Amino acid sequence: MLPGDFRPPSRPSGRKLLLFGMLGLGGLVGLVVTIGIAAFVVSAWLGLPLAAFGLNDGPEQPIAFPHPHHVQEIGLDCTFCHRNVTKGAAASIPAVGLCMTCHKTVGDGKPEVEKLRNFHASGTPVDWVRVHRVPDHVNFVHEPHIRNFSDQYGGPAGTCQLCHGDVGSMVKVKQVRSLKMGDCVECHRNNNAPTDCTTCHY
């Protein structure tokens, strides 16, 4: 054969075929992972995270607090534990001492109550994982919302459900509304509340 004549390519070795196969498989896995992450980020940005694979089931907490037991069975109102909600900006999470007013004597042998007692004995606060959050440049104050909606929705507990959902029936607390700016503005418009920027951004 003269130099420069066409020469059919030789069949790649088994090692090269294996390398190409692994590169192709790695690229496919990388593409699937990238699409999955992008779908999660976009869905969380636009609203709530995708419910697939438990991404919107709510976070694991240091103590699995049973809201249904305390709310539905015992009949506690939201304000019994979240005492600041009718008076200030934050709803507040109860201190371990408040829980211990009952659980010094109630709940022997229950693992989650024993965890609570251990926190109390060591003087360590429970490091709860935050579920609902608005951006740092937003000033959300609970008190006026509770004051203005309580008559319409049957008290603070009914008002809380507008944004937080029926927490009293949730085994694990999760976010049910996007709590994005559009969600808040729409609610303000529907209820003749102020929509001026300085209402929430100050």
What gap in Å lies between CA 189 and CA 187, rounded to an integer?
5
* 187 or 10, which is more confident: 187
**pLDDT for 55:** 65
Domain locations in the chain? 15-54, 67-93+128-199
Percent of the chain with pLDDT over 70: 90
Q: Do the beta carbons of residue 186 and residue 124 sit within 8 Å?
A: no
Sign, Cα dihedral of 107, 109, 115, 119: positive
pTM for this one?
0.72
**pLDDT for 135:** 86
Q: Do the beta carbons of residue 60 and residue 130 sit within 8 Å?
A: no
* 141 or 5, which is more confident: 141
pLDDT of residue 58 exceeding 90, the answer is no
**pLDDT for 51:** 66
pLDDT of residue 1 exceeding 60, the answer is no
Q: Taking residues 4-23, report their average pLDDT.
A: 77
